Amino acid sequence: MSSFRLIKTCPRSQARAGELTTRHGAVATPVFLPVGSQGAVKTLTPEEVKALGMNMVLANTYHLYLRPGISVIKKAGGLHKFMGWEGAILTDSGGYQVFSLAPLRRVSDEGVNFRSHIDGSQHHLSPELVIRHQEALGADIIMALDECPAHDDSPDKVKRAAERTHKWAERCRKAQKRRDQALYAIVQGGVIPELRRQSAEYLASLDFPGYAIGGLSIGEPKEVTLSMVEETVAFLPEDKPRYLMGVGSPEDIVEAVARGCDIFDSALPTRVARNGALFTWQGRRNISNAVYSRMEQPVVADCDCYTCRNFSAAYLHHLFNCGELLAYRLATIHNLSFIGQLMTKIKSAILDGTFPSFKDKFLAGYRSTDERVRLSQKRKWLEKRNLGS
């Protein structure tokens, strides 16, 4: 059974250091989970992910249900054996993926009927089936099925989604048979403070082993995201882990840690890597820009990742311009290594009581993506997902 131990709370912020104990090892928090939705972190082997200091990954029930099928993975001995990963695994329920396919699904209190984005075949997911699938996969932490409303849905629609999420959480808990897996509930409520409070309070009263904050970072302004995180965390139990879903940009992780969040996941670091955006302590850098064509130094001079130890920025620039597959691997290694280094610095700062000054210094030196550009890119990405592509 996965458990959580709170080690230290920063006296001048809500930042916390803790430890998750799982069947597949201990995980220090705050922690970032690389996304391996289909049983693999894109472009990397399990050994490479482990070498980056990552000892817990996220996989997605929706994707694995469609391909290769839950029965295939169960027959192989569970997801750990199937993907050759010895560390801890958290499986998302797939609720967000289903709800992002707006034209392809129909929701009722019973569950969700949807058409596969792959071949159009008809499928059904209910809270009971989601638990059954995740128990077959064998992850260390599993998620309740939730309904994720759009950030601009009407208050009535957001309220109905939260109420349905609460009922589904109770059904998930009742359906759970394996006690060696920790089942986390997901707080919803959109961007409406009162609904966030009500959702957090209701789910906290059910005493789940952990709580996720869902339905954020899906198109709303960043200041709204952080405001809703504050509103939610205030009503969650202090002795349980808090998982902010879908947040992975360095500056957002630092801000969310300051607001009391412990667990993060996002495909952002690996996705932007494949598009040539590399993390530095000053912000993202587009390696395809001409300025890097003759730069003999690594992208980050003091980075000890495999990419920066062995290759110049000019070489990475060349690989991306030529469309070489190695470019995607090297960029992914660097970005995940950067996030790993960031999490280590965050944990150290919390433990030695210097997190507030670390946060201020980091944010002062890190240039975030322009908010208008970020929201535009997010909308395009969401529209693409909503078309099932």
119 is catalytic: no
For the chain, where are the alpha helices, taking DSSP H only? Answer: 46-51, 61-66, 70-75, 79-83, 95-100, 127-137, 155-175, 193-205, 222-233, 250-258, 268-274, 306-310, 313-322, 325-351, 355-365, 371-386
Beta-carbon neighbour count of residue 287 at 10 Å?
28
92 is catalytic: yes
- One of 239, 252, 265, 304 is an active-site residue; which one? 265
- One of 92, 140, 252, 262 is an active-site residue; which one? 92
- The gap from C-alpha 118 to its chain's centroid, in whole angstroms, comes to 23
Helical (H) or strand (E) element with 55: none
Q: What is the DSSP string of 115-154?
A: E-TTT--EEEE-HHHHHHHHHHHT-SEEE-------TTS-
Give me the long-range contacts of 68-75 (CB less than 8 A, separation at least 24): 70/133, 70/136, 70/137, 71/136, 73/39, 73/136, 73/137, 74/136, 74/137
Secondary structure of residue 250 in the 3-state scheme? helix
- Are the beta carbons of 93 and 212 closer than 8 angstroms? no
Burial of 373 (0-12, 13-18, 19+ CB in 10 A): exposed
283-286 vs 277-280, strand pairing mode: antiparallel
Catalytic residues: 92, 265
